[in-house]
Amino acid sequence: MAEQSKKWILMVTAQTPTNIAVIKYWGKRDENLILAINDSISVTLDPAHLCTTTTVAVSPSFQQDRMWLNKKEISLDGARYQNCLREIRARANDYEDEKKGIKISKNDWQNLHVHIDSYNNFPTAAGLASSAAGFACLVFSLAKLMNVQEDNGRLSAIARQGSGSACRSLFGGFVKWVMGKEEDGSDSIAVPLVNEKHWDELVIIIAVVSSRQKETSSTSGMRETVVTSALLEHRAKEVVPKRIIQMEEAIKNRDFPTFAQLTCSDSNQFHAVCMDTSPPIFYMNDTSHRQVVLTSGCILSCVVAYTFDAGPNAVLIARNRKAAALMLQRLLFHFPPNSDTDLDSYVIGDKSILKDAGIQDLNDVEALPPPPEIKDKVPAQKCKGEISYFICTRPGRGPVLLPDESQALLCLETGLPK
Near a second copy by CB under 8 A, which window of 119-127, 166-174, 284-292, 315-323?
A: 284-292
338-377 footprint of a second copy as x/- string (CB under 8 A): ----------------------------------------
Question: How does strand 19-23 pair with strand 203-209?
Answer: unpaired
Half-sphere exposure of 146 (CA within 13 A, CB side): 30
Nearer to a second copy among residue 58 and residue 232 (C-beta): 232
Q: How far is the CB of 299 from a second copy (least distance, A)?
A: 7
Which residues neighbour 378 within 8 Å (Cβ) at sequence distance 6 or greater?
Answer: none
Coil vs helix vs strand at 301: coil
Q: Which of 41, 39, 48, 49 is nearest to 20 (CA)?
A: 41
Are 399 and 169 a contacting pair, CB within 8 Å? yes
Q: Does 279 bind a second copy (CB under 8 A)?
A: yes
Distance of alpha carbon 53 from its chain centroid, rounded?
13
Nearer to a second copy among residue 168 and residue 271 (C-beta): 271
Q: Does 37 bind a second copy (CB under 8 A)?
A: no
Q: How far is the CB of 25 from a second copy (least distance, A)?
A: 17
Question: What phi, psi does 358 have (nearest 5°)?
Answer: 75, 25
Nearer to a second copy among residue 160 and residue 271 (C-beta): 271
CA distances from 77 to 52, 67, 164 (A): 21, 10, 19
300-319 footprint of a second copy as x/- string (CB under 8 A): x-------------------
Nearer to a second copy among residue 293 and residue 343 (C-beta): 293
Q: How far is the CB of 192 from a second copy (least distance, A)?
A: 27
Interface residue with a second copy among 48, 292, 400, 412 (CB under 8 A) is: 292
Site for a second copy in 239-278 (CB under 8 A): 239, 261, 264-265, 268-269, 271-273, 275-278
Near a second copy by CB under 8 A, which window of 93-101, 180-188, 282-290, 332-340?
A: 282-290
- DSSP result, 323-353: HHHHHHHHHHHHSPPPTT--HHHHEEE-THH
Question: How does strand 19-23 pair with strand 40-44?
Answer: antiparallel
Site for a second copy in 157-216 (CB under 8 A): 213-214
Distance between CA atoms of 51 and 291, rounded to whole angstroms? 25
Q: Does 296 bind a second copy (CB under 8 A)?
A: yes
Distance of alpha carbon 367 from its chain centroid, rounded?
35
Q: How far is the CB of 125 from a second copy (least distance, A)?
A: 17
Q: Does 285 bind a second copy (CB under 8 A)?
A: yes
* Number of residues this chain uses to bind a second copy (CB under 8 A): 34
Distance between CA atoms of 395 and 197, rounded to whole angstroms? 8
Distance between CA atoms of 277 and 259, rounded to whole angstroms? 27
Kindly report whether the peptide bond that precedes residue 379 is cis, defined as omega within 30 degrees of 0.
no
Near a second copy by CB under 8 A, which window of 114-122, 287-295, 331-339, 364-372?
A: 287-295
Distance of alpha carbon 194 from its chain centroid, rounded?
17
**Where does this chain bind a second copy (CB under 8 A)?**
213-214, 228, 230-231, 234-235, 238-239, 261, 264-265, 268-269, 271-273, 275-280, 282, 284-286, 289, 292-293, 296, 299-300, 378
